[in-house]
Amino acid sequence: MKELELDTLLDIARRRPLATREQQRRELLLENDPEAREYWEEELALDHCLQTIPDASVSSNFTAQVLAQVPVESRVRSQHGLPFLPWRPRMVLAGLFLVVGLLSLRTYFLRDQAHIVDTAATLAEVSELPTLQLLDFESIQLLQPAAGDADIELLAALE
């Protein structure tokens, strides 16, 4: 807390002279802490040194001098160059990904169609085979009562 108050007073002292109440508060904070007093004096000395340094002079034609240092060819290219040239490698890469993606999609659909054709051919072959169980209605009727008896037995066991 004391450090925060001391920093606040130091900021005020940098901007303007401290008021009487602020000076009293500063003395109260600094009287028991030699490190804080040393810090205060060091900061004020540095601030005084910085105020004595003259401002750096900037020439009136600073921008012109900087632009004169830029190579002429880069200025010509930026003025007359095509704006999409830096994007060319990205466009080529995007086009390559698009072509690969479309070819992969086409291959997927062709394989899917081939699978459907193979399945339909297999079903056509199976449907042509006569099975005895499907043609013999008596065997189907014999199977149904057996399943019905098991259901009745199961129902009786659950009750």
> Which whole number is the average pLDDT over 59-63?
81
* Number of structural domains the chain divides into: 3
Domain co-membership, 10 together with 45: yes
Domain co-membership, 124 together with 144: no
Whole-model pTM: value is 0.36
The Cα 100–Cα 48 span in angstroms is 69
Q: Which structural domain range is residue 34 located in?
A: 2-52
The Cα 159–Cα 157 span in angstroms is 6
Inform me whether the pLDDT recorded for 21 exceeds 60: yes
The Cα 11–Cα 49 span in angstroms is 16
More confident residue, 69 or 75: 69
The pLDDT of residue 146 is: 52
Helix segments in 16-136, DSSP class H: 20-30, 34-52, 62-69, 72-80, 88-128, 132-135
More confident residue, 100 or 24: 100
In a domain, 143, yes or no: yes
In a domain, 136, yes or no: yes
Environment class of 10 (CB within 10 Å of its CB; exposed 0-12, middle 13-18, buried 19+): middle
Inform me whether the pLDDT recorded for 1 exceeds 60: no
Structure tokens at 35: 């490190």
> Which whole number is the average pLDDT over 12-23?
86
The Cα 3–Cα 9 span in angstroms is 10
The pLDDT of residue 80 is: 56
In a domain, 78, yes or no: no
pLDDT in tens, 101-149: 999 999 999 998 989 988 888 887 776 666 655 566 666 666 655 555 6
Domain co-membership, 46 together with 10: yes
Inform me whether the pLDDT recorded for 42 exceeds 80: yes
Task: Place 72 in a pLDDT band, splitting at 50, 70 and 90.
Answer: low
More confident residue, 78 or 51: 51
Domain co-membership, 120 together with 138: no
In a domain, 117, yes or no: yes
Structure tokens at 19: 């008021």
The Cα 62–Cα 58 span in angstroms is 7
In a domain, 67, yes or no: no
In a domain, 72, yes or no: no
The pLDDT of residue 68 is: 78
The Cα 132–Cα 58 span in angstroms is 106
The mean predicted confidence, pLDDT, of the chain is 79
The pLDDT of residue 40 is: 85
The pLDDT of residue 100 is: 95
Domain co-membership, 136 together with 124: no
Structure tokens at 108: 């997927």
The Cα 140–Cα 107 span in angstroms is 46
